[in-house]
Structures are given as structure tokens and as C-alpha cells.
Amino acid sequence: RERVDSCLGLPWVGDVRVLGALGVVQLDHAVDMEAATDAAVREGVWLRPFRDLIYTMPPYVTGDEDVARIARAVGAAAREG
């Protein structure tokens, strides 16, 4: 949670929700799919943003290093998308 909470500082982020391994960043506008996907892929992660949401559902067995990478990708997608 603490890794995606940093997205709350972005003025266009309306909400950040985390439940278990599920993480969602909700924007105040529709996600620019191409920009958000490109930003995540640059971090080495594939995300499937839709509508105004950028979310991730990693497996429960995801290690700390991969969780950090996924959180960076979500943040990058939120900044770009």
C-alpha cells in the first residue's frame, strides 16, 4: 500500500485503493491508454488500465522486488496516463 499511496500526491489522482494484492489508482479523467501502457512497459510491467482506473493484481507469491517494480509501473502509468 505504501508504494502506491505516493500517487495520492498527484493532482489528477482521485483515489488509491488496496485490498490484499489488488491495487487501484483512480484518476479524475479517462486514462490515456497508450501513454499509460508505454510508461508501464518501460518499467518492465504489463498493466491493463481502463476507463479512469490503473490497477494491478499480482500473484500472492510475488516477491518484494517485483512488488516494488509493479508499484513503480503503476506510478509511472498514473503520471503519464
Under the banding of pLDDT at 50, 70 and 90, the label for residue 2 is low
Q: What is the mean pLDDT of the chain?
A: 88
- pLDDT for 10: 82
Averaged pLDDT, 29-54: 92
Cα–Cα distance between 27 and 81 in angstroms, integer?
9
Averaged pLDDT, 15-32: 90
DSSP codes joined into one string, 2-16: HHHHGGGGSTTEEEE
